[in-house]
Amino acid sequence: MTVIIMKIYLPNSAFLGNIDPFLRSFDPTDPSVLEVTSNPRWISIHPVVICMVAALGITVEPENIHIEKLEARSKHYLERMGLFSVLGMDSNIKIVEHEPAGRFIPLTIVKNSKEQSHVIADMIPLLHLKPQKAEPIKYVISELVRNVLEHSQSPRGAILCAQFYEKSNTIRIGIVDTGIGIKRSISASHGVTTDMEAIRLALTPGITGTTNRIGGTEENAGAGLFFIKSIACASRDFFMLYSGDAMFKLLKRGPSAKRIILNTNPFDDRHSTDPHLPYWQGTVVGIDISLDQGQEFTSLLEILRTVYSRAVSEQKKMKFKKPKFI
């Protein structure tokens, strides 16, 4: 008899640039039982991968979570990031006290605005960043968590973690929820038939599921995901958005690339998509931000606001442009 369960495999490498095979291998068949397996030699994964495992695990009773015995030395990373604690499990992994703590935000569950404020306040000491370097990180996490709290309808809130990578001077962030997903949220105000189309609209400035009015409302202008994608673009780094059966990924641009262009249509960016992934109930966001970026965050936001205003204005003109009959 074949036992049908939900499975997720931790490979030896899964970062945003090569995350596609990991996403394709996810098996959501039975959401009541979770089996986690891993590469036996080593595990090197993006924080968003850990968030995904945690997000699945908290939807399952602890006795129905099966994690094979981890042999890889890097298993200590999973312990340090708080995976087993979030899942309510004893990993039996002992961390030596003098082992360097690193610069990371461990797995954190945020269910309301008060908890969100605490996370933002704790970020700088956890990541050991100078205030000017922390500003884009604070903005990204604050905006993504707000999106979850306002749109996902998930009683489990947002699950996040982040890691600083000294060699590349890069912050990698993952934020995941198991809510209603982008398509259902956008569909409240806009006609969409596929998860990929919903993702395109969610990344388009001025579009929000809270209203069909271009430019959104005072409370929600439909700018958040566009701004975050643009921050990754200005940083010449990766950004990934995965919901339902579809994934959009902004591809990395090298330092020799021409000047950064902030496109209002995400499909005009250098990107890849996959509309046939295993179904994720909710939304997954991963982003890498290089701290070597030359653009000051405050001036970048001003540029983004200008691009956003122009995009909304053009969309309104197109919407209300009357057809001419000859």
pLDDT in tens, 164-203: 998 888 999 999 999 999 999 998 878 899 999 999 999 9
Domains observed in the chain: 99-320 (3.30.565.10)
Task: Give per-residue pLDDT as tens, 125-175.
Answer: 888 887 777 888 888 999 999 999 999 999 999 999 999 998 888 999 999
Task: Give per-residue pLDDT as tens, 6-53.
Answer: 999 999 999 999 999 999 999 998 889 999 988 888 889 999 999 999
Q: Measuring CA to CA, how many Å separate 119 from each of 27, 37, 44, 138, 158?
A: 31, 30, 25, 9, 12
The packing angle between helices 113-127 and 131-147, to 10°, is 150
The residue with tokens 């000047």 is 259
Task: Give per-residue pLDDT as tens, 208-266.
Answer: 655 555 544 445 545 789 889 999 988 889 999 999 999 999 998 876 666 778 888 99
Q: 10 Å Cβ neighbour count for 132? A: 11
Note the pTM of the prediction, 2 decimals: 0.88
